[in-house]
Chain A
Amino acid sequence: MSLHRRDVVRKLLDKRGGLLVVAGLGSTAWDITAAGDHDLSFPTWGAMGQAAMMGLGLALAQPKRRVLVITGDGEMLMGLGALATIGVQKPKNLTIVVIDNERYGETGMQTTHTASGVNLAAVAKACGFKNSRVVTKNVPLRDVVHRTAGPNFLQIKVIAEKLPLVLPPQDGVLLKDRFRRALLGKADRT
């Protein structure tokens, strides 16, 4: 393993355009913030296990926009059923990226199931994701996020490292309202 999570996430969000982003709680929320806080990013501070489902709700609500979920291996493992649900719905505009350091980073770096060989990309594939793979090297991923018909799943293996916290706003109402305002405009109505 040679990839650093902050580099991976910075590249995923480079020139993001109209990309809609949801991040799982903990390290991936800090990673997307380190790459540059954005009104169309929704970093979560709780609801562990639900990042992928939030991505599905968003992708179905906004079928013309690309949606990217960036979450951790521990967060994804808590909501594995979501992969089956997404596999059934088959949203073409949704990509789920798991930044896999094989650790629970916020609780003392205890190992997750992926450290013992659980292959999340294989689970996603078996659930019906159109494209799914494990990434261990620095390869271009822009097309997967912005163009390839999904649902797409990338399990990106990264070095387990403790990094400085880069915290997004914690006010959930602010995070939600700024996202809706930026996406839906000032009328802010459904």
Chain B
Amino acid sequence: MQAWAEAVHQEFARAGVRLVGYVPDAGHKRLIELCRADKSMRSVVLTTEEEGIGLAAGAWLGGARSVLLMQSSGVGNIVNVLGILKTCRFPLVTVVTMRGEAGEFNSWQVPMGEGTQASFETMGVAVKRASAAGEVASLVAAALRGEQSVAVLISQKVIGIKSFQDQTNQ
């Protein structure tokens, strides 16, 4: 499971990512483990996704490349503070696992999942969708090459969690 995570972690390392902000997420479980085990990166667990935008801005002020990992349900938590990316032209690379798409087992996840792309685009963050596992790493690599604000959304079918039991077994 989550073989794409190895390739994404390699792209983080290749790009010199030093800080990884994240809110724990079953879809990101493997990638979080890889980042936490990598001594060249500092992993920062957050209480809410909003903190990840402040962390990324501060890291960039200090000359460090960072990434932010979250689930689509967290995107609504960051909308106001995304404004700082536009007004200050801070770069952001965030990798977002999708919920609320085909196969969703919790209807409460659907509204934010449906609004995820529009929320990012409303605030000026470019959205790149990975609908197959093989696409994730190359989209992340491209995002890390630019100094723009980019969200790479990983489709729920790539994550492959179809039930509460699957989620628990990650």
Q: B16 in the interface, Cβ–Cβ < 8 Å?
A: yes
Chain A interfacial residues counted at CB < 8 A: 40
B62 A58 Cβ-Cβ under 8 A: yes
Give A90 to B115 CA distance when docked, in angstroms.
35
Q: A54 in the interface, Cβ–Cβ < 8 Å?
A: yes
Give A82 to B19 CA distance when docked, in angstroms.
16
Given contacts A47-B53, A47-B54, A172-B84, contact A61 B46 (CB under 8 A): no
Give A88 to B46 CA distance when docked, in angstroms.
10
Chain B residues proximal to chain A, CB less than 8 Å: 16, 18-19, 42, 44-48, 50-51, 53-66, 80-81, 83-84, 87-90
Report the minimum CB–CB distance from B164 to chain A (whole Å). Answer: 26
Give the residues in chain B near A20, CB-CB below 8 Å.
61-62
B87 A57 Cβ-Cβ under 8 A: no
17 of the cross-chain contacts (CB-CB < 8 Å) are: A45-B87, A46-B81, A47-B57, A47-B80, A47-B81, A47-B84, A48-B80, A50-B50, A50-B57, A50-B81, A53-B58, A56-B54, A57-B19, A58-B59, A61-B62, A61-B64, A81-B46
Given contacts A50-B54, A172-B88, contact A190 B65 (CB under 8 A): yes
B89 interface neighbour in A53, A55, A82, A176, Cβ under 8 Å: A176
What 19 additional pairs, Cβ within 8 angstroms, besides A46-B81, A46-B84, A85-B51? A44-B84, A46-B80, A47-B54, A50-B51, A53-B54, A54-B58, A57-B19, A59-B58, A60-B19, A61-B19, A61-B61, A61-B64, A173-B87, A173-B89, A176-B60, A179-B61, A189-B63, A190-B16, A190-B65
